[in-house]
């Protein structure tokens, strides 16, 4: 690929991009990130992503080197320079480099800001038609999952475990309950059509797509319950699905090889996917 990427104030060819080996993002995963979907060359739900970025920064005493308006301008420039119709913009902010390795936060390091685009199809997804098979495994992540840090080895291990064992993704469990997917929020649908998802806390990422979906669901008279649920309840659910900025809503058709409902993508997941995509498309007009 030959993308133009953004690194600390410059738009450059991806092959010319350079970051210090002492950058704390590289040494300590001392960095936060956001992924915003792009449809028809327009950013989707970006205000929510920028608000969460500001919150992540605050929790870690990280300072954004540019304003949120400037970030939006950079995102839009990358869409334009790389001619992105559908895909995403990845943004990462690290605490920068102090020129050596030291656990303490450096006093005078300049933060590192990197953004790049990814072209990929989002609306047409084979998994939306086929559904996903998930496996549950223990959630071994740290206790501040509400902060969107680049500390992603545990989710990478979970995803790889799922793929190596013939599943599409992993749902993580803690104290007998599902927390979320490896890189998405998790939902089930009960027999009476209620959508159940874990309430917000430090145990899960506060998904921007989740927030929009819960609003859309209540407008569409779909009942919502924010509460904990177990893998056993999930395996007996009528439907299950996930949400994230890059997948929107995708149906889950089996959990630990147990078919969910009739083992086919369910109607509530399909309906929520459609109304979320309609909302996204309305932001591109």
Binding footprint of ligand PDD on the chain (CB under 6 A): 35, 180, 183-185, 205, 207-210, 243-246
Cβ nearer to ligand PDD, comparing 109 with 249: 249
Smallest distance from the beta carbon of 218 to ligand PDD, in angstroms?
A: 17
Active site residue 133: no
- Closer to ligand PDD by CB, 173 or 246: give it: 246
Min CB(92)–ligand PDD separation in Å? 11
Among residues 148, 236, 238, 264, which one is catalytic? 148
Residue 158: CB minimum distance to ligand PDD, A: 10
Cβ proximity to ligand PDD: between 43 and 208 the closer is 208
Q: How far is the CB of 28 from ligand PDD (least distance, A)?
A: 19
For ligand PDD, which is the closer residue by CB, 97 or 185? 185
- Contact between residue 147 and residue 116 where contact means Cβ atoms under 8 Å apart: no
Catalytic residues: 148
């Amino acid at each position: 690929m030959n993308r133009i990427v953004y690194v600390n104030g410059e738009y450059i060819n991806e092959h010319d991009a350079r970051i210090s080996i002492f950058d704390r993002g590289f040494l300590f995963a001392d960095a936060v990130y956001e992924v915003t979907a792009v449809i028809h060359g327009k950013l989707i739900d970006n205000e929510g992503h920028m608000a969460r970025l500001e919150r992540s920064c605050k929790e870690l005493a990280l300072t954004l080197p540019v304003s949120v308006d400037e970030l939006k301008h950079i995102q839009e420039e990358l869409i334009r320079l790389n001619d992105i119709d559908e895909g995403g913009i990845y943004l990462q902010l690290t605490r920068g480099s102090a020129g050596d390795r030291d656990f303490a936060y450096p006093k005078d390091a300049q933060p590192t800001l990197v953004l790049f685009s990814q072209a990929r199809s989002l609306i047409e997804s084979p998994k939306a038609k086929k559904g996903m098979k998930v496996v549950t495994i223990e959630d071994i992540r740290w206790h501040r999952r509400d902060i969107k840090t680049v500390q992603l080895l545990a989710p990478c291990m979970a995803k790889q475990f799922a793929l190596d064992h013939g599943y599409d993704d992993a749902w993580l469990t803690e104290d007998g309950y599902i927390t979320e997917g490896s890189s998405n929020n998790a939902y089930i649908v009960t027999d009476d059509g209620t959508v159940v998802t874990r309430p917000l806390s430090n145990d899960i990422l506060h998904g921007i797509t989740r927030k929009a979906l819960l609003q859309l669901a209540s407008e569409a008279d779909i009942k919502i319950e924010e509460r904990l649920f177990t893998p056993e309840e999930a395996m007996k659910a009528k439907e299950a699905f996930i949400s994230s900025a890059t997948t929107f809503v995708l149906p889950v058709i089996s959990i630990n090889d147990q078919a969910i409902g009739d083992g086919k993508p369910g109607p509530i997941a399909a309906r929520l996917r459609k109304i979320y995509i309609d909302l996204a498309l309305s932001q591109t007009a």
